[in-house]
Amino acid sequence: AGFGDDAYADWMWHTMAHEEGIDLSASRRFPDFHSPLTASVATQGDRAMVTHGHELPEPLSMLIADAPAARAAVVDLAGETSWWADLARRGSKIFADIGFDETGRWDLSDLAPLAHCHAFTPNALEAMSYTRTDSPDRAVRALAERVPLAVVTDGAAGSYAIDGSTGEEAYCPAVPVTATDTTGAGDVFAAAMVLGTLADWPLAERLKFASLCSALAVQQFGGSLAAPGWGDITDWWRHLSDAADGGDLRAAYTRDGYCFLDDVVPDHQVQGRRRAQGTFALRSDAGKH
Query: Could you tell me if residue 253 is inside a domain?
Result: yes
Q: Which of 66, 118, 128 is nearest to 92 (CA)?
A: 118
Output the pLDDT for position 111. Answer: 95
Gap between the Cα atoms of 9 and 27, Å rounded: 12
The amino acid at residue 44 is: Q
11-20, 65-74, 158-167, 217-226: which has the minimum mean pLDDT? 217-226
Mean pLDDT of the chain, nearest integer = 89
- Residues 95-108: tens digit of each pLDDT: 999 988 989 999 99
Residue-range definition of the domain harbouring residue 90:
69-227
* Residue 285 pLDDT exceeds 60: no
Global pTM value: 0.88
Residue 286 lies in a domain: no
Q: Across residues 96-122, what is the average pLDDT?
A: 94
Q: Residue 161 falls within a domain, yes or no?
A: yes
% of the chain surpassing 70 pLDDT: 93
Question: To 10 degrees, the CA torsion angle through 86, 92, 94, 95?
Answer: -160
Number of structural domains, the chain?
A: 3
Does residue 114 surpass a pLDDT of 80?
yes
The answer to whether residue 288 sits within a structural domain is no
Whether 184 and 255 map to the same domain: the answer is: no
Find the CATH number of the domain harbouring 144: 3.40.1190.20
Question: Please, are residues 233 and 260 in contact by the beta-carbon 8 Å criterion?
Answer: no
What SS3 state is found at 57? coil
Q: Is the pLDDT of residue 44 over 80?
A: no
User: Is 77 strand, coil or helix?
Assistant: coil
pLDDT confidence bin for 64, thresholds 50/70/90: confident
Give residue 30's pLDDT band: very low, low, confident or very high (50, 70, 90).
very high
Assess whether 223 and 240 both reside in one domain: no
DSSP 117-180: -SEE--BHHHHHHHHT-SSHHHHHHHHTTTSSEEEEE-GGG-EEEEETTTTEEEEEPPPP---S
